[in-house]
A and B are shown apart, each in its own frame.
Chain A
Amino acid sequence: MFGYYLDLALRSLRRNKMLTALMVLAIALGIGASMTTLTVLHVLSGDPLPGRSDKLYYAQLDPQDMKGMDSSKEPPEQVTLIDGLNLLHAGRADHQALMTGGSVPVQPEQSSLDPFYVEARYTTADFFGMFDVPFLYGQGWTAAEGEAKVREVVIAKSLNDKLFDGANSVGRTLRMAGTSFRIVGVLDSWQPNPHFYDLNTGSYAYGEEVFLPLQTMLELRLDRGGSTDCWGNGGGGVGNILPSNDCVWLQFWTQLDSPAKAAAYQEFLVHYSLDQKALGRFQRAPNVRLRNVMQWLDYNKVVPSDVRLQNGLAFGFLLVCLVNTVGLMLAKFMRRASELGVRRALGASRRALFAQLLIESGVVGLVGGVGGLLLAMFGLWLVRQRPSDYAALAHLDLSMLFITFVLAVLATLLAGLLPAWRACQIAPALQLKSN
């Protein structure tokens, strides 16, 4: 029966090419536009570390003075150096890392290359294990080496390709900011999107090329980037001067393998705040947050509002296209009233007619889906030409490909429901008579 209906549908669609083309075009345009924006949204709101992100937590404390206090306010988005080091040395989490970003000048040995700046991440040792960073050669430094302020560096694959033509450079020397560092590790390609562990750098398509021990950076006073927020008499952070302990400028990440551990860690942060208040460092009542990666990204609203707006617009457009298709399908089905009347008179049930008409709209949806897919690919190509930092990420993946067809067929079936129902209401006798 299905095959027969399919045959009927194809015949009917061929009979009025103009109307069919209009319907397919409307569906294709609507699906193309909404899939383009939905893909961008999907890419931007994706999980940067699938499988691990629910175990990684970002800690926030409130070390500010009493001025402007409001208990409903969120604590600062970063931690001070002293709190960061205290939490790090407490070691209450399964893994923890204290970090900040910056940029350092690289002075290559080859005279053919001018000195250039690279983005740097200054972090404690657990960073690599905690974020599951893939190594091509060597490995990171150990916590003890970090504490000893070793002159060791882990470099990204791109920098290794540039300086050493992709050869194993572990053990070689890299001169940065007037100091020689020993390369201990080379990363494989790694660029989590969004750049969740430090959103001050821009959320997308950002990657550091060198990774140095935080303690080494503190000793050498390398250039810092990112944001520094101070209160009270806090200041510093200019040139060689580190920000004072009334400034937050570091990120503290922890790995907590179970929800129970996360709850315990939150409790620990409250106790830590109370201790610091007793010591006179903190003035406010404990105000702590412990968010996992996705919660942290949500809280920071990393997806640009323009992208959400575009997605809304595209679905509005899809709605108009669907209303349009409903109208056209109504016209198409009503025009075949006499044919349907004959089928009814010959004994076809309403249900059979209904199925036949819906199959016809499903075919339109499928063809429209193919057109929509092509348009979405074109749309994503257009997105990639745009200057946004996320532009290069806009690619269709398998799940979105699947969703395209499901959405196209479902939307068209939905659009076909009303016209099909209406066409089935026709009294067969009336149609036979008028001819």
Chain B
Amino acid sequence: MQIHPILAALRRHRLATLLIAMEVALACAVLCNACFMIANRIALMHVESGVDETSLATVQLTGYEDSHAVDLNARVLSGLRSIPGMQSVTVLNSIPFGARRGTAGITLDAAAQHFGGVVEFYVGGPGSLQALGVHVIAGRGPQADDFQAFTGLMPSDASVQITHSLAEHLWPGVDPLGKEFWLDKMHYRVVGVIDHLVRPDPPGWPENSKDWSIFVPAQPGKLLAGSYLLRADPRDVPRVLRDARAMIAKVAPDAVFDQEGSQTLSDLRATCFRQDRAMAGILVGVIVALLLVTALGIVGLASFWVQQRRRQIGIRRAIGATRGDILRYFQTENFLIVSFGIALGMVLAFALNVMLMKFYELPHLPLYYLPIGALVLWALGQLAVLGPALRAAAVPPVVATRSV
């Protein structure tokens, strides 16, 4: 196949060629960036929680008097534990993807000079850390005498478990066991490291701090009540939660059952990321529409060229070109134009990425998106031109002898 005559022909149709190439370039730029943003959203949605989501559910109660909290806890715990199939019911202030009640800034010294970061305090009663199903990778989990009664926001002096990523942030490269930190006057000692325990609201936090959580063991009491973690076999979880609602109406008629907050953790997770899922869906829609419009543009212009060149095609057929030659001519021509567009599009893709990075939290576009985008557009171009090219190949040689 000789490329030279094709280039010569394209030079006679500079404007149309340029337009198709422009369209391909724009499509390439948007395609690469939209795919990248979809991948980012999906990565966001798959944040590692560190807990056994499928086995867990939560019950949230409000509207009771603080003075009744201890009594309420006792009634609710014994009531919920009597539900068949319930493996454990524990008290936990915040719930991954759900209620958030312990976000605070910590310092690494008593004088509050070295700020450590804003972290999430999970304050839980006995058994709650095991119920979450997190893995202690260093040190120890909470022991029976770690769970102290308290009167303020949470125990003011406690042995705690922190996540690996938080330990790395606070004391990079150093063994965190035995280290201390402060929240105002409250003092905490690290006795264990857990691999992951996500914040209740991961979408709102930068990538590296989604996992900055601390588990503080405490005795349920006046200010640790009304938020329960239910654990059951994954198959039983929805049923157990339904039974729990009925049980609450029976054992705690003085409390208001928070419908929105009381869900399985899988449902809470889905709700937590629904915006991201919707956005990913929109981006897919944009990509499909964009590719469709680009393909239609190529079909339209290629059809025009085929019609315009009927005589020339006829002449070529008459002097010995095969149908295959004609077909390949149009395919090669399309390949050249699309390639030109892709080259331009890669530059545009990078420019668009830099612009998006300015306004949104988005990393650099990884280079491997470019060849993938190129392949997609080449395939699209070939597919779009196939119809018109076949019509061109079907032009009989006799056309050469007629005047149009």
Is A50 among interface residues, defined by CB-CB distance under 8 A? no
Q: Which residue of A lies closest to B64 (CB)?
A: A105
Q: Counting CB contacts under 8 A, is B318 at the interface?
A: no
Task: List residues of B whose CB falls within 8 A of some A CB.
Answer: 15-16, 19-20, 22-23, 26-27, 30, 34, 62-63, 66, 152-153, 184, 223, 256, 271, 274-275, 278-279, 282-283, 286, 289-290, 292-294, 296-297, 299-301, 303-305, 307-308, 356, 359-360, 403-404
Q: With A317-B30, A422-B15 given, is the CB distance from A29 to B359 under 8 Å?
A: no
* Contact indicator A313/B34 (Cβ below 8 Å): yes
User: Which of A's residues lie within 8 Å of B, judged by CB?
Assistant: 18-19, 22, 25-26, 29-30, 33, 105, 115-117, 233, 235, 238-240, 305-306, 308-310, 313-314, 316-317, 319-321, 323-324, 326-328, 330-332, 334-335, 386-388, 418, 422, 435
Q: A33-B289, A305-B359, A317-B286 in contact; A239/B301 too (CB < 8 A)?
A: no
* A–B pairs, 23, beta carbons within 8 Å: A19-B304, A25-B296, A29-B292, A117-B63, A238-B152, A238-B153, A305-B359, A308-B359, A309-B279, A313-B286, A314-B286, A319-B26, A320-B23, A320-B290, A320-B293, A323-B22, A324-B293, A324-B300, A328-B300, A330-B19, A332-B304, A387-B274, A387-B278
Contact A328 B297 (CB under 8 A): yes
B156 → A minimal CB distance (Å): 12
The chain B residue with its CB closest to the CB of A388 is B275
The residue that A238 contacts in the complex, of B223, B256, B300, B403, with Cβ under 8 A, is B223
Most buried by A among B30, B153, B300: B300
CA distance A411 to B382 in the complex (A): 29
CA distance A356 to B301 in the complex (A): 22
Pick from A309, A314, A323, A388: contact of B26, CB under 8 Å: A323
Question: In the complex, are the beta carbons of A240 and B290 less than 8 A apart?
Answer: no
Highest count of chain B CB atoms <10 Å: which of A26, A33, A313: A313
- What total of A-B pairs shows CB separation below 8 Å? 116
| B296:A316 contact, CB within 8 angstroms | no
* Chain B residues in 8 Å Cβ range of A319: 26
The answer to whether A105 and B15 have CB atoms under 8 Å apart is: no
Docked pose: A213 CA to B289 CA in angstroms: 54
Lowest 9 A-B CB distances belong to which pairs?
A: A331-B304, A324-B297, A327-B19, A328-B300, A323-B23, A387-B274, A320-B26, A22-B300, A327-B301
Least CB separation from A320: chain B residue:
B26
Among candidates A331, A334, A388, residue contacting B300 with C-beta atoms closer than 8 Å: A331
Contact residues in A for B303 (Cβ distance below 8 Å): 18-19, 331
Residues of B within 8 A of A308 (CB): 359
With A22-B296, A117-B62 already in contact, the answer to whether A335 and B283 are too (CB < 8 A) is no
A335 touches B307 (CB 8 A): yes
Q: Find chain A residues with CB under 8 A from B297 CB.
A: 22, 26, 323-324, 327-328
How many Å lie between the Cα of A105 and that of B293 in the bound state? 55
